[in-house]
Amino acid sequence: MLSLKKYVAEFIGTFVLVFFACGTACAVGCEVTGGYLLTALAFGLVIVAMAYSIGNVSGCHINPAVSIAMLISGKMTALDFVGYIVAQFAGAVAGAAGLLALFGKESNLGSNALYNNDIVASLIIEVVLTFVFVIAILGVTSKSENGSVAGIVIGLSLTLVHILGIHFTGTSVNPARSFGPALLAGGESLSCVWVFIVAPLAGGALAALVYKFLTCGKK
């Protein structure tokens, strides 16, 4: 029952992330600076809201890149990892379905896109953005005394990577967040979504390995 509650929490959190944050991108657009900032803030604020609501249930990963980092760090079991991934992807699809009803397919539902149609550049950008985001999560959650501020730090970190990354790929750093909108938007968004699944997972895994190295031997 405890695991089921975790999975439901992850479903809800990922649904809210896609519906509100990608929804903000649909509503305001990202072609001007104001749109960039509002979208970046929406992603960060969702994390803050969810961290302080479902964080005590599931840890508020709502992102497979975070979950794979926690798996590598020994902070979750393989069974829970699979359950989290299924819940996150399902939540993202449900969130995208809500956006489809509100904005229609022509809005692209906040999908990501390749930077200058360059797969390699897009992969590198997403790995770097995800690495920065996930290593910040690993650092702030490594000490229990940071619990009261962890949600704010993580939300601001996500805002930070979006402020830079929106210009290039729309910023994924989250395979589920990318998959849901791309699945329902179809077309080019769906054809390149693998980039936004592979790169964040690689960035999250790299962050976990690097953080392990940096903190090896510390009490």
DSSP 8-state class, residue 118: B
Q: Could you count the other beta carbons within 10 Å of the beta carbon of residue 8?
A: 15
DSSP 8-state class, residue 217: T
pLDDT in tens, the chain (219 residues): 768 999 999 999 999 999 999 999 999 986 666 888 999 999 999 999 999 999 999 999 999 999 999 999 999 999 999 999 999 999 999 999 999 999 999 999 999 999 999 999 999 999 999 999 999 999 999 988 888 899 999 999 999 999 999 999 999 999 999 999 999 999 999 999 999 999 999 999 999 999 999 998 765
Q: In sequence order, what are the beta bridge partners of 115?
A: 118
Contacts of 137 (CB under 8 A, 6+ apart): 66, 69, 154, 157
What are the boundaries of each domain within the chain? 2-215
Query: CATH second-level architecture of 2-215?
Result: Up-down Bundle (1.20)
Whether the Cβ atoms of residue 67 and residue 85 lie closer than 8 Å to each other: yes
Q: Which of 186, 178, 86 is nearest to 130 (CA)?
A: 178
Tell me how far apart the alpha carbons of residues 12 and 18 are, in angstroms, rounded to a whole number. 10
Please list the helix, strand and coil fractions of the chain in percent, rounded to the nearest 5, in that order.
80, 0, 20
Q: Could you count the other beta carbons within 10 Å of the beta carbon of residue 46?
A: 23
The amino acid present at 39, given as its one-letter code, is: T
Q: Which of 108, 112, 116, 140 is nearest to 126 (CA)?
A: 112
